[in-house]
């Protein structure tokens, strides 16, 4: 019995001694396997992002990548609402048709007031000042199409001339910056998954941001172009002048925003190409250009406003 007890005690002691080494080895193997699986998952994630951005998988082209939209960047910058479009033309003509009798009515009321109802010199003076404004405003509204076409053509030609001076493709600075950030994203993802996510979000923020700005510019310019005659009409009267001024100013600002964007991009391209910036400095300039273009509408609207009398 004593021999059995001694053997049992000895067996228990051996198990106690061996368990830590066995369990530590088992946990170590599991940790290595888990790390290997996680590393493979990170690699697959990186390959998927490359496929999404570049349309390549393991270095081979398999489709169209998201970055191909930068090939159309020049066209998006130069895009203005087509005034010869049937629907746009019809809407503007409709507003002009509605405003014409209002002008005639306002001119008649002002004339009657001047001839028969003006009781004070102050009221008579105001009516005299309003009369030529109504005539001038009516002429401007009747010339809505030539005026809008002139503004659009001037902005387009200026932007085109600036873009033609770029030493490289218009989208080059953005593509180079995205590629630099993708390399940082790859290194960060292989090190820590969370760090890679931050860079990935930043990449998509910049891509979506710049094209959202260009799309927003086109849509808002389209709206202000359509109501431009109404803005001119409202600008004629003191009581509605602020609303009319806002519409006319916004039409001009959103039109010429394309010139500002073209100037920012070409200036950055020249700085990088002619001055030979490379490495981190090139990436910083690229990111700065992205961000400035994205906030350019806010800068323009806040810095340039109430420039009309």
DSSP string, 89-108: HHHHHHHHHHHHHHHHHHHH
19 against 167, higher pLDDT: 167
Residue 136 belongs to some domain of the structure: no
Does pLDDT of 63 surpass 50? no
The mean per-residue pLDDT over the stretch 43-53 comes to 68
* Spatial contact of 245 and 235, defined as CB atoms under 8 Å apart: yes
194 and 165, same domain (yes or no): yes
Q: Token pair 């020249």 is at which residue?
A: 270
24 and 74, same domain (yes or no): no
25 and 150, same domain (yes or no): no
Q: Which region among 66-70, 84-88, 150-154 has the lowest average model confidence (pLDDT)?
A: 66-70
Task: Name the nearest CA neighbour of 269 among 288, 294, 254.
Answer: 288
299 and 264, same domain (yes or no): yes
Does pLDDT of 28 surpass 50? no
Residue 120 belongs to some domain of the structure: no
The mean per-residue pLDDT over the stretch 238-249 comes to 93
Q: What percent of the chain has pLDDT over 70?
A: 75
153 and 179, same domain (yes or no): yes
Q: Convert the pLDDT of each residue in 251-296 to its tens digit.
A: 999 999 999 999 999 998 888 887 777 777 888 888 888 899 999 9
158 and 11, same domain (yes or no): no
Q: How confident is the model at residue 244 (pLDDT cuts 50, 70, 90)?
A: very high
Q: How confident is the model at residue 190 (pLDDT cuts 50, 70, 90)?
A: confident
Range among 34-43, 100-109, 225-234, 267-276 rated most confident: 225-234
74 and 31, same domain (yes or no): no
Tokens of 258: 């394309």
196 against 117, higher pLDDT: 196
Tokens of 150: 């002139």
54 and 77, same domain (yes or no): no
38 and 146, same domain (yes or no): no
pLDDT at 234: 94
| pLDDT, averaged across the chain | 80
CA 124, 125, 126, 130 torsion-angle sign: positive
Range of the domain at 35: 2-60
54 and 78, same domain (yes or no): no
Return d(Cα 252, Cα 256) in angstroms, integer.
6
Q: How many domains does the chain have?
A: 2
Last residue of a domain, one of 11, 26, 60: 60
The stretches of 240-278 forming alpha helices (DSSP H) are: 241-274
221 against 170, higher pLDDT: 221
Residue 290 belongs to some domain of the structure: yes
Residue 127 belongs to some domain of the structure: no
Task: Name the nearest CA neighbour of 134 among 234, 236, 227.
Answer: 236
Does pLDDT of 242 surpass 70? yes
Task: Name the nearest CA neighbour of 260 among 203, 304, 205.
Answer: 304
The residues with which 56 forms a beta bridge, in sequence order, are 61
Residue 77 belongs to some domain of the structure: yes
pLDDT at 2: 45
pLDDT at 26: 40
81 and 33, same domain (yes or no): no
Show Cβ contacts of residue 217 under 8 Å, excluding neighbours closer than 6 positions.
Answer: 254, 257, 258, 297
pLDDT at 19: 46
Residue 298 belongs to some domain of the structure: yes
Show Cβ contacts of residue 281 under 8 Å, excluding neighbours closer than 6 positions.
Answer: none
Q: How confident is the model at residue 35 (pLDDT cuts 50, 70, 90)?
A: low
Task: Name the nearest CA neighbour of 219 among 108, 297, 122.
Answer: 297
Residue 110 belongs to some domain of the structure: no
pLDDT at 119: 61
42 and 152, same domain (yes or no): no
Return d(Cα 306, Cα 241) in angstroms, integer.
11
pLDDT at 16: 45
Q: How far is CA 238 from the centre of its chain?
A: 35
Q: What percent of the chain has pLDDT over 90?
A: 38
DSSP string, 183-229: HHHHHHHHH-HHHHHHHHHHHHHHHHHHHHHHHHHHHHHHHHHHTHH
- pTM for this one? 0.80
Residue 151 belongs to what H/E stretch? helix 144-164
Does pLDDT of 92 surpass 60? yes
State the Rg of the chain over Cα.
34
The mean per-residue pLDDT over the stretch 140-149 comes to 95
Q: How confident is the model at residue 173 (pLDDT cuts 50, 70, 90)?
A: confident
Residue 93 belongs to some domain of the structure: no
């Amino acid at each position: 019995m004593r021999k059995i007890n001694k053997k049992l005690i000895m067996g228990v002691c051996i198990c106690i001694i061996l368990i830590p080494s066995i369990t530590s080895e088992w946990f170590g193997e599991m940790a290595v396997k888990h790390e290997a699986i996680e590393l493979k998952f990170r690699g697959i994630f990186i390959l998927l992002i490359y496929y999404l951005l570049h349309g390549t998988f393991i270095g081979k082209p398999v489709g169209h990548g998201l970055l191909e939209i930068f090939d159309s960047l020049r066209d998006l910058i130069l895009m203005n609402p087509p005034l010869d479009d049937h629907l746009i033309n019809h809407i503007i003509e409709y507003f002009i048709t509605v405003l014409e009798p209002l002008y005639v009515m306002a001119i008649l009321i002002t004339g009657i007031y001047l001839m028969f109802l003006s009781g004070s010199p102050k009221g008579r003076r105001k009516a005299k000042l309003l009369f030529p404004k109504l005539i001038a405003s009516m002429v401007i509204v009747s010339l809505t199409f030539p005026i809008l076409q002139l503004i659009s053509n001037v902005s387009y030609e200026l932007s085109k001339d600036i873009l033609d001076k770029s030493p490289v493709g218009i989208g080059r600075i953005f593509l180079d910056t995205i590629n630099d950030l993708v390399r940082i994203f790859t290194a960060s993802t292989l090190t820590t998954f969370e760090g890679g996510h931050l860079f990935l979000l930043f990449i998509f923020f910049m891509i979506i941001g710049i094209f959202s700005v260009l799309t927003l510019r086109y849509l808002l310019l389209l709206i202000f172009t359509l109501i431009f005659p109404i803005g001119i009409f409202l600008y004629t009267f003191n009581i509605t002048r602020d609303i009319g001024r806002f519409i006319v100013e916004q039409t001009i600002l959103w039109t010429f925003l394309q010139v500002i964007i073209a100037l920012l991009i070409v200036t950055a391209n020249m700085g990088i190409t002619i001055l030979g910036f490379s490495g981190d400095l090139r990436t910083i300039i690229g990111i700065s250009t992205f961000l400035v273009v994205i906030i350019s509408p806010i800068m323009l609207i806040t810095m340039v406003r109430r420039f009309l009398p």
